[in-house]
Chains A and B, each alone.
Chain A
């Protein structure tokens, strides 16, 4: 067994450990297991050779030979950062779960299990394996929302589950179709890529459309986005953090690897429509966010808007755009969990998510307010913080590819400024609202969760090359397909 499959297995071992230990050790066990997994992924990151573009840490075992299914895992430039991001956010999400009181054991079991499946999605290089992890990640999230969520948790959980399930069934149909179309029948991704020219273009298009439906629901793209706000509003803080931070990236990653990376000829056809939908996402999501008075809903819709940048970056098919899209995924994976966490911090203290309820938090919780403001600025794309780089690069890519259309995306940036500042203003400044008097500032745990995220916002904003160095060679290889 290699390093990567060991890394996949480790959280599962943690799950077993959790079920055996009494509930009072659950939190510390989960924290330790996720932390060790994170350290493992960091080791992976540092031993990753950025100069070669082939799969690294590759492992291939036969699973179901008669159907052409293997256990094929590995990391490359497109996935390495997402792997690290998943384990990193899992540590923080588990850390942020201090408010959970009931069924601790089951709660942390779900999170460790979720971590294993998320890692699996990003390292799988067998389509079947990819699908298994993709589907499997749904169930722990469903349980997390359905059991530890807010008032309408059951509705939100089922909605989330069924929406994504309906999306992923198209993914499954596409995957099976793809395996049927190649000779010999196989689900192994590198083999399929080497055989892709044997598939007629109209079938390539069909598969690309089927895949796109699956990924669009996950991303989510307008008009199949309506599960997201519900899921976010009802999910516990830690669930929201992972949902926004990693699960949405699965959609973007899917587009990157299995649509644009798999069928260049067919993907060119859907690139422009996708680009337009991405623009709609940016603007529509931003307007929806602007209209919210519920903090969590506002952040949820801002996620939709920000994922739109990922889509236009990908659809630009330009070097800078695709790099920007991947960067934006990471950036959003850092800012949006931070936003959900700060909202969670407030909610934990006051049990209100209404902007109008708050006011003058800056005087009551100064440390919190500084971090909150920084997070909001990073999210709205202030230069020098991480959010700016991705948005700039994707818009630049879109401009090179399609011209002035990207102005709409630029409007999204402006709108982001409006809703983020509205939130910051409503919550932090002004007179101290009645419900906010005497609130305690961040606890040590909360600082420990939030500060790493804020530090990363600075690092990503000031020295983006640290991240681009991992992305660039892989994207260059991908973009070559479109020259």
Chain B
């Protein structure tokens, strides 16, 4: 086979990640200190690959391998965000030194799965990529096996995950079977050409939605998520909340927002109903949480619900969706950097434990407040642009009364989220200081974590002020 160099270059992020996986695998077998050097190189390499992902021209490999993989705006955005969060998670683990060498291999493998999934244009490739994404996850969650809740979390994640994968596979099989084609474009054509089978197609459609939805905690498959978030080691939770969500959200977007868009009205309705339910559920449940990570889990469910409502808009809503996704992921990375930082000196689970953070470490405290406010959507932070842009798109582009109602509902529910984010902020800015929050002596690598959180906050502020250029930065537009 004759591969032009541009095609190879277009796969640079995936290839680069594979090389890193091989290198990290090799470190399992070397003695001495060599492995730390390679491990410390990984975040830097991932960030370089992120830059490379931005520079690769869109549409470069549309015809390669029967067009089963595409590089477009969605892929570029996904690649960049995945690289960014992958680098952050690897750094977290390097700083805390809680994990064996295998941890890094697993993270990178999963990252590779995500990278392939977001560009896949074909059911089989997508399925394999999703498996590659999820399998290391099952192991990663179980890393904190010394804690009881951790084991519970791992088992729950595994069992739910397997059932969800089965549903996903069943859905894929039904679609492929009824259409006789595995490519998205072929399936879209088949759905469009046989409108009589619409209600039959609802079954595979729902199965796929449920199977993928499980991994990001959409209702009704959300039950595992808070437990796993609290039970898993904090770095792994950060991994699930960033890498896992980016990949699956973009896969969902590609499936229902790009490939199958406009072919299937009932499917669009199903997504919106699921999205709103998820948003309402996540937001309501988050109101009652005392545990920081549980709160993040439920609020994350809410954010996912909001983003899902934008899928049926297709590329029209992509701008708003990207705003939302970028701000959410950056804020998540920042908050988990903070939580990892805190986990070094105290048990960071209960919200009260974070009392008076702003006093003991002002820069970090203010940054976390900014991160939370961005998630809540205070203008003009970047998080607000996602909600605002989303509401504008929904109002403009859905049919009139429904779109208006939906946009209104999205905004009103988003306001509720201020309530629980404020409850955390209240503790952070409280002037009575929790004695245990006094950080231990910080070496450089530990303060790196607080720099990540501060950097994320600065990004959200600056991003909120410049607004549109942030999208250009990620190749959207």
Contact = CB atoms under 8 A, between A and B. Distances in A.
Contacts of B359: 103
Given A65-B468, A146-B429, A154-B426, A176 B407 contact: yes
Interface string A115-128: 00000000000001
B319 interface: yes
A147 B378 CA distance: 20
Contacts of A63: 467-468
Contact of A161 (B389, B404, B414, B422): B422
A172 B411 contact: yes
A165 B468 contact: no
Interface stretch (A177-185, A241-249, A348-356): A177-185
Interface residues of B, number: 30
A102 B319 CA distance: 44
Nearest to B414: A169
B396 A185 contact: yes
Interface centre among B319, B373, B396 (most CB of A within 10 A): B396
A446 B411 CA distance: 44
A106 B359 CA distance: 10
A interface secondary structure, majority: helix
A135 B379 contact: yes
A158 B404 contact: no
Contact of B429 (A67, A147, A165, A169): A147
A166 B412 CA distance: 7
Given A147-B429, A158-B422, A179 B392 contact: yes
B44 interface: no
Contact of A66 (B391, B419, B426, B468): B468
A365 interface: no
Contacts of B396: 180, 185
A136 B392 contact: no
A165 B418 contact: yes
Contacts of B262: none
B422 A173 contact: no
Contacts of B7: none
Interface in B351-393: 358-359, 373, 378-380, 388-389, 391-392
A177 B419 contact: no
B392 A180 contact: yes
A64 interface: yes
A139 interface: yes
Contacts of B422: 142, 158, 161
A483 B376 CA distance: 45
A180 B392 CA distance: 7
B379 A67 contact: no
B426 A176 contact: no
A343 interface: no
A255 B468 CA distance: 31
A224 interface: no
A136 B378 contact: yes
Contact of A146 (B378, B388, B404, B426): B426
B29 to A, nearest CB: 50
A67 B384 CA distance: 14
A166 B380 contact: no
B408 interface: yes
B415 interface: yes
A139 B404 contact: no
A106 B358 CA distance: 10
A119 to B, nearest CB: 15
A458 interface: no
B415 A64 contact: no
12 contacts: A66-B477, A67-B389, A103-B359, A135-B379, A136-B378, A143-B429, A146-B426, A158-B426, A166-B412, A166-B415, A173-B411, A177-B395
